[in-house]
Amino acid sequence: MQDKILSILKEIEDFQIVDKETFEQFKRNYTSKKGKISILFEELKSLDKSQKAVAGKSLNELKNKAEEKEKLFQERYENLNTKNQQDLTLKGITQFQGSRHPIQITLNKIITIFTEMGFQIAEGPEIEDDWHNFSALNFPENHPARDMQDTFFLENSQYLLRTHTSSVQVRLMEKNELPIRAIMPGRVYRNEEITARSHCFFHQVEGLVIDKNVSYADLKQTLEWFVKKLFGENTQIRLRSSYFPFTEISAEVDVSCFICSGVGCSVCKHSGWVEILGCGMVDPQVLINCSVDPEIYSGYAFGLGIERITMLLNKISDIRLMDQNDIRFLNQFQHFSLF
């Protein structure tokens, strides 16, 4: 009897209950009325009184072991079933829709407008050398933009963080794959004080067209089409004479205030006009610097700041909000398309 009890005890300990089917098999083999333990209790009746006491104690311990294992799986199985049950009356999980960053929204609009006009997209490195960032663009040695107050120069190096995406224009012209009709979106860096109106890094989109017989009228027509698409069909444009080292003639471009329709408000400082970009005809010396013959080719260039346009379109008063990742600010742009 004792040997049988020890043998069945080992079977119980080794038995793996992994699912309902094996659980039912365990009960049939050991704890049911026709199981091995019940059979041993029947055999116990035929033992001598002296043997019954010892065998009975061992048999009760065996029965308890089997019932504990059965109860343990029963509880685990019931808990598992409870977790898997679905309450269809529960409120669903709220889905939060993300959105593009306001700068990306504006950039996507600008890129779309220019690509519809046949402009290609060009990119270049953010770490530049002096030639591509300054010298090729007619910046003299003593130009203020070369001063450490304006430019982030890398320590003990002739390299710097680009101050404008005009460096990409130089790289395009150097390839000498003419004609060129491209825009250059990207991040730029300037060593300026961070205020509500300025930052040490921001985003630009610059444009370059190089071809035969390109005129100032072509530049004006392109910009008129652009501002009407971006700000509205009733937007007017004016060009004011200005100076840039890499263009001649040069101009600052204003648009009629799209907030007050030119009547005068705080956005346009009650002038009825808002400055949005700089432009001009590419200086012939810049073409020569980039191995383009100015006797055959001419071109125009323009550049605008994305943060400024974003602030104007959305009436944002502080440029610092653009890079603080304040969820209260970003949530205001969820109504815009992700694309």
Euclidean distance between CA atoms 316 and 278, whole angstroms: 22
Residue 72 lies in a domain: yes
The β-bridge partners of 182 are: 120, 208
Domain boundary among 54, 84, 114: 84
CA–CA dist 60, 69 (Å, integer): 14
Predicted pLDDT of residue 80? 57
Reported as a single tens digit per residue, the pLDDT across 150-160 is 888 898 788 99
Q: Are residues 39 and 175 in the same domain?
A: no
Residue 338: inside a domain: no
165 and 56 co-located in one domain: no
Please answer whether residues 240 and 252 qualify as being in contact, where contact means their C-beta atoms are separated by less than 8 angstroms: yes
The pair of three-digit structure tokens given for residue 105, joined into one six-digit string: 């929204």
Q: What is the pLDDT of residue 338?
A: 46
Question: Which structural domain range is residue 299 located in?
Answer: 102-333
Structure tokens at 205: 């989109």
* Predicted local confidence at residue 282, as pLDDT: 97
Q: 325 lies in a domain?
A: yes
Residues 149 and 278 in one domain: yes
Are residues 134 and 191 located together in one domain of the fold? yes
Q: Do 241 and 232 contact (CB within 8 A), yes or no?
A: no
In a domain, 95, yes or no: no
Q: What is the 3-state secondary structure (H, E, C) of 263-286?
A: CCCCCCCCCCEEEEEEEEEECHHH
Domain end point (choices 25, 51, 84): 84
Is residue 96 domain-resident?
Answer: no
pLDDT at 217 over 70: yes
Residue 178, token pair as written in the block: 């003419």
Beta bridge partners of 153: 160
Q: How many contiguous H segments (helices) and E segments (strands) does the chain have? A: 11, 9
Look at residue 339 in the predicted model and tell me its pLDDT: 44
Helix %, strand %, coil % of the chain (to 5): 45, 20, 35
* Max avg pLDDT among 30-39, 107-116, 312-321: 107-116
Query: Are residue 59 and residue 109 in the same domain, yes or no?
Result: no
143 and 276 in one domain? yes
pTM: 0.68
* Four-residue CA torsion sign, 106, 108, 114, 117: negative
The number of C-alpha atoms within 13 Å of 159 and in the hemisphere containing its C-beta is 6
Domain end marker among 84, 113, 140: 84
pLDDT digits (tens, 9 = 90+) for 99-138: 788 999 999 999 999 999 999 999 999 999 999 999 999 9
Instruction: Verify that 141 and 186 share a domain, yes or no.
Output: yes
Query: Rounded CA gap, 43 and 123, in Å?
Result: 91
Tokens of 237: 């444009």
Residues 149 and 252 in one domain: yes
Q: Are the beta carbons of 239 and 277 closer than 8 angstroms?
A: no
In this structure, the number of other CB atoms found within 10 A of the CB of residue 219 comes to: 24
> Over 80: is that where the pLDDT of 305 sits?
yes
Strand pairing category for 120-121 and 180-189: parallel
Could you tell me if 158 and 303 lie in one domain? yes
Query: Which run of H or E residues covers position 62?
Result: helix 49-84
Average pLDDT of the segment spanning 288-312:
93
Is residue 295 domain-shared with residue 165, that is, in the same domain? yes
Tokens of 252: 């600052």
Residue 77 included in any domain = yes
- The DSSP H or E segment spanning 168 is helix 166-175
Is the CB of residue 221 less than 8 Å from the CB of residue 157?
A: no
CATH number at residue 156: 3.30.930.10
Domains in the chain, number: 2
Residue 90 lies in a domain: no
Could you tell me if 249 and 283 lie in one domain?
yes
> Which residue stretches of 101-157 are H helix?
102-116, 130-133
Give yes or no: residues 130 and 15 share one domain: no
Q: Does 68 reside within a domain?
A: yes
Structure tokens at 35: 């199981």
Average model confidence (pLDDT) across the chain: 86
Q: Ranked by mean pLDDT, which of 220-229, 256-265, 267-276, 329-338 comes out on top?
A: 220-229
